Structure 1
Amino acid sequence: MDLATYLVALDERIPPSKAASWDKVGLQVGDRGTTCDKVGVCHEVTNAVVGAAVEAGVDLLVAYHPLLFDPVTALVAGASPSGRAYALARAGIALHIVHTAWDVAPGGGADSLAEALALENLTSFGPEWGSETVKVVTFVPTENVDAVADALAGAGAGSVGHYTGAHFRVEGEGRFTPGPHADPTIGVPGVPESVPETRLEMIASKRVLGAVVTALVEAHPYEEPAYDIVAVSANAGFIGRRGSRTAPQPLDEFVALVDETLGTRSRVAGVGTKEISSVAVVPGSGGSFAAAVAGSVDVLVTGDINHHTAQAALSRGTAIVDTGHAPSERPGMKSLLRAVGELGCDTIDLTTINTNPWRE
């Protein structure tokens, strides 16, 4: 199939709109017009991964961690992120990033970590707010509202996770008086007019706002459509999961299970005999979400916890198991490989290449 078609299917499974606003997800290298028959999946784009991808002859590399986080001013061969991007481009390999979009997705990084640790009765926490979002509000003659809604959806409005064309409408009455130089679709200049109208609301990413407003004006029957653009925070994905263990166990025993499951040696803050029943997990760097669960669970399992965050959690009765950044993401890599494999192309497993910079 062509790459554009494949990426549509991939985005339907892992909506990029759910990624954190600071994240760099989506296509970072490549041409959507090329073919895509073989797809590699990796945790992070290291030199070893690039070499393996080239040797395997993949057309697309789906990576969890972004390769290019900072602005790039030159693509020159070498061991830098931009050098690896150059190597992929030279080999004709496209690169697509999923990162926090995968963390929050159903069956993604957070769910996979919770499942690996056999947590039950799951609830979510830790909203990851997506890219800048606006709500587009307009007022349309009721008989024309379907056409306007379809036009906005076609321009990219109304996408909410796995749903497209999502909108709200309510009927009302629009009133206006055309001016002497107006050319009204309904009514005549100088005469007050009343029209059955429908208020139509749809959200849109700010990056497609220009296209959405253009579609609105073109599809709307009025000479001068009325519309509002309102900045909103909406439809966040959740990166954390909170659950319970089937039976309580001492912290030291729980840590042994975590380390065996994730293949790591965790740093631990807490008394080894503390009974563990309730557990919160965040794949990757979860320190910024520790305050959200401290005091409400017995232990938080995540990576990259600093001294002060651990002290604060302990003071509220929550132990910390810092597995390291990459180990906390490993269950999600197995699930990502399965998810990509279900999309139809020949799939190559590059997640087994160890990209963790720390000794374990």
Structure 2
Amino acid sequence: MQNMQNKLKKILLWAFIAYPLSWLIQKVLKVPIFETYHSFLQSFYQYFYQWWDWIVIVLLTYLISKNIVEVKYETMELVRRNRLLNELERWAETPYVPPIMVYYLMNPPQAVSGDIRKVIDNRFYQMVVSFFRDRVYINAQIQRKLPMDRPPLWKVIGPKDLLITLAALGVSLLWFSFVSLDSLEKWVYGWERFTIPGVIYFALYSSMKIQGYLEMRYKKMDQVIKQHFGQEEPEFFWREFFPDKEKGKTIIAAWEAEREKRQRYTNMLQGNVFVSEVIQNYSNPALAPYPFPSQEIPIWTDSMEQYYGEKLQEWTNEDKKITTHTRSKHSNVIDISKRRKQTF
């Protein structure tokens, strides 16, 4: 917006300077440049006077809608954050790390938008690592073997956000309904035509929001997890991600690579063209903290592994009891059809 205003000011300034300058050139060099320029300005004025309304409409439409794709990116960021929080809650009482968190820790998530400023300022990965740090060294009690059911996507999106999207969509549909039911001439020549920039914005806004929702649906997330780990909901114990384990070392390596890359982008954006091979000053406030609260393995690690084993054995025994009870229950049921066949 600011860049366009500056360009417009420069155009008007040069147009103003060109008028006396062209007159002077014509007087000195006897070249009819002033007459040509004057004729051009008259033609432009006539054209502008005839079409000023649609020029204003097109200009307004461009100005308010040129960055509309950012609505889609912001929506995807919102849903991604809410989805992560829901997945953490689903798996909280299990002995397993949420699969989506594992994927993000091993493949640091980037900003949805490709804007370099948003890439270096995005704090989603920082949030993922912070949640991991807060939980990884906690010897929590296990309450359930399987995670809770997923909430429907509309709950993850949030009723408020959905209502805003539906309202924007409703405004644009209502406008098109009025156009189709009313006189089209009024919408072309009447004052109603100045509502066009607004309705185009609402239509594009709702379109971007819906695209954002579809991009972040569960099906896509499950496909990515399955492609990476071989199944949609792999079960990884928290102990597997301690810094003395391979998965823990992978998390640290991914963190180091992401940290260095983001700081390099930060330095380049700040005008530091020369970037040394070794970065010593990490100044970006959006950088994620070290993935573990301490380098030392907790003293209760062995007892935690033993507790995991006992709990899993307990669940296995319960499953066997349920299976045996179900079979015995079915074995006491007399199959009437078979008895009848035997009788005859």
Interval of TM-score (by shorter of Structure 1 and Structure 2): under 0.3
- Higher helix residue share: 2
- Higher strand residue share: 1
TM-score by length of 2: 0.20
